[in-house]
Amino acid sequence: MTEGEWFTASAPGKFVILGEHAVVYGKPAVVLAVDRRISCSIRRSYRNSLNGEHIDFNRQPHFRYLTRDTHYAMDYVTNSEIPPGSGLGSSAALSAALAMAIRAERDEPSDEMTLVDEAYGAELFAQGNGSPMDASACVHGGGIAVNVPGTDDRHLWTVSRGNRTWDVSDVNVPDMTFVIGNTGVRAPTGPQVEKVRRFVGRNHFAADVVDEIEAVTLEGHASLERDDTVALGEMMTLDHKLLSILGVSCRELNKLVNASLPYSYGAKLTGSGGGGCMVALTDRPEKVCEAISARGGTPYIVQTGADGVRMEPGPSGDPLMEVPLDYPRV
Ligand code: PMV
């Protein structure tokens, strides 16, 4: 057979300003999309390949889930600016982009809710637990709030699993500068979520900390809405302390947070923790970058307000000829 036409979609990474872990229990969270993207090109083919090599679907659970109704072989090519396993949403972004490309290839319409359902389904299939917040942020772009009361006028969608429900709404993101610091320590999300689940399940004190994260997140969301950088920064630093009590920080994250604080309004780990990234809210991004580098981290200045998942113009050449040497793992 001859290969089909290429279809390419891309989606942004994200970081959690406030509320990670607590959101798994239906508490509020606020997440912003960032200007680092992952793209996924696909075409019908005579074999299944990922970035030019045989794809083992057992080792690529996101692909396995999202192609469950695809009954023909495909070439898949991915390209990522998002460091994997670092809390920046690389797997949700890949899932959103792949879901959109697959639907385009089948000539099926893609509304945001359907893509969230697909991307969240892939995340659950791959890691077994978690909330739809990453998928929602990577699909919608900009900023999203989850389970924040009083946001009905900006409601986007509601996702339910078992007895938990997440109401997702749009957030107006003011112009703010954030620096992400990557510890370089890879820490998959699933085990961190599980660790917190065990702690919360057997300890009232941990459940109280989750309630405090809720209060801090609501206060921080209100600060974001009124563009109050100082108050938002304070809530971020407080959230980091609460997450540390839950046991999801680590020495490397604490080092980068402490190094950033003298030049920041606030700083905290972002995502599931145990490694991965921290984020600082600052108007002195160069100083924060220096401080992070001096402690062995990798800094990125990120712009917020990124577009959500979108189709990209077809590749000009053959993406298989341009497979990056160090292609992303999710
Ligand atoms: O580390 P990430 O980017 O996968 O973020 C996980 C956020 C958690 O709240 C810890 C889990 C979740 O799915 O909400």
The strand pair at 178-182 and 29-44 is best described as unpaired
Q: What is the pLDDT of residue 2?
A: 72
Ligand 1 pocket test, pick from 17, 180, 250, 272 with the greatest ligand atom count within 8 Å of Cβ, gives: 272
- Domain assignments of the chain as residue spans, ordered by start: 7-310
Alpha helices in 29-129 (DSSP H): 61-66, 90-105, 112-127
Q: What is the pLDDT of residue 129?
A: 80
Tell how far the Cα of 130 is from the centroid of ligand 1, in angstroms.
6
> How many CA atoms lie less than 13 Å away from 107 in the CB half-sphere?
1
Pocket lining: 74 vs ligand 1, CB cutoff 6 Å: no
Q: What is the pLDDT of residue 93?
A: 97
- Please, are residues 180 and 300 in contact by the beta-carbon 8 Å criterion? yes
Sign of the dihedral through C-alpha 149, 277, 308, 266: positive
pTM: 0.91
Ligand 1 pocket test, pick from 14, 15, 18, 20 with the greatest ligand atom count within 8 Å of Cβ, gives: 20
Residue ranges of the chain with pLDDT lower than 50?
Answer: 325, 327-330
CATH fold for the domain made of 7-310? Ribosomal Protein S5; domain 2 (3.30.230)
Structure tokens at 283: 């108007």
CB atoms within 10 A of CB 234: 18
Q: What is the pLDDT of residue 127?
A: 86
Q: What is the pLDDT of residue 330?
A: 46
Q: What is the pLDDT of residue 3?
A: 81
Tell how far the Cα of 190 is from the centroid of ligand 1, in angstroms.
8
